[in-house]
Amino acid sequence: MRKAALFPIVLLFVMISTASGFGQDGDLAMLRAEALEEVNEDRRAQDLEPLALGEDLNEAALAHANDMIERDYYAHSSPDGNDVQDRYIAAGGSRWELVAENISRCENCMQTPDVATVERLQRGWMDSPGHRENILRPGLSRFGFAVVVHPQQGLYAVQTFAGPGTPRGTGSEATELLAMDRQLSVALDAINELRQEAGVPTLSASQALTDIARRLIPADVPDPDKLPGLNSVASDLDRSSWEEIVTIVGACGGCGPEPARSDVRAFVDDWTNQQVYRESLLGSGASHLGFALRANGEGKKVAVAVLGSVR
C-alpha cells in the first residue's frame, strides 16, 4: 500500500516586551480563566466561535514557560528542538490537530501577575499581526495559558491553541462539505482532468473499487500505518476481472473536522506532486478508479484511491 502523509499545521509567534509592572506568583487558575475570557471576547468581536480551556494545552504552556526559565532561552523551539506540537503531544494532545502558540517575555516584570497583567499581555498580542492571527484563527476549539515569573529573568507568558483546523484550499470548495456518495465523482473529475492534460485515457468510475476504498478506512479513521491490508477487505472482489490493483493512501492533520470538496483536490495534488504516485495516477495502465475520504472530526483526514486495470 503506497502512502503519502502531511503533517499537522503548527503556527508560532514571538513577542518581546520591556515594559515593567508584572509580577512574581499568582492564582494560575484564575489567570487562565481571565486569559480565556480575553481571547474569547476578541474572537466574539470577529464572529468566531469561543474556545474552551484544555488541560493538555495548559500543561504544554506551563511546561514551555518553565523550560524557558530553567534553560534560559526565549523561543518556540527548545535547545533540543522540541516545539509546541511536541509539547502538546507530550501532554496528551493529538498529533493531528492544528496547533498554535504565542509567547511573550518581560525582563523587568517581577511582581505577582494579576488580571491587569493578563489584560496587558492580551492587548500586546492583539496589537501584533502574527499573534493576532493565531488568536483569531478559524478552526481552533481549545486554549491553554501560563504565566511564570523568575526573580532575575522576569516574566514569561505562553498562549497555546489547538483545534481541528479548516479544509485545505480556498473559496467555496473549502466550505462545501462533501458526502461520501459524491466523493468518487469529484476525485474522478480531478484525476481525469490531469490525465487529459497528460494525453492518457481517462478513468472510469468503479463502485467495486470504491467499496474497497471505504473498507480500507474504518469509521474510526485510524492512522495510515494502521489501516487494514488490501487482501483483508477485498475478499469478495472478482480478482479474475482485474489485471492489477494499486492503492494510494494520503493523510492530513489540522485540515478540518469534515470532508470538503477542496480536500479531494488537495489529496490529488499531493499525490501527483510525488513521482511514484503520479506514475500510478497518470499512467496508461489504469482504467478504473475507486475513492474514499473520511475525517475523525478532530482534524485528521485519510483518503484512499484504488486504481484498477481490467483484463
Residue type, 226: K
**Distance, C-alpha 157 to centroid of its chain:** 24
The three grid cell numbers given for residue 189, joined into one nine-digit string: 473529475
Dist CA 304 CA 218 (whole Å): 11
pLDDT digits (tens, 9 = 90+) for 215-271: 999 999 999 999 999 888 888 887 778 999 999 999 999 999 999 999 999 999 999
Dist CA 286 CA 267 (whole Å): 18
CA nearest 175: which of 183, 186, 167? 167
- Cβ within 8 Å of residue 295, ≥6 positions away: 221, 256, 257, 258, 259, 301
**Distance, C-alpha 221 to centroid of its chain:** 15
Dist CA 105 CA 15 (whole Å): 7
pLDDT tens-place values along the chain, 311 residues long: 444 555 455 565 555 543 333 334 459 999 999 999 999 999 999 999 999 999 999 999 999 999 999 999 999 999 999 999 999 999 999 999 999 999 999 998 888 899 999 999 999 999 999 999 999 999 999 999 999 999 989 999 999 999 999 999 888 888 899 999 999 999 999 999 999 999 999 999 999 999 999 999 999 999 999 999 988 888 888 777 899 999 999 999 999 999 999 999 999 999 999 999 999 999 988 999 999 999 999 999 999 999 999 98
pTM: 0.88
With cell 510525488, the residue in question is 274
Helix crossing, 180-198 with 261-272: angle to 10°?
40
**Distance, C-alpha 298 to centroid of its chain:** 8
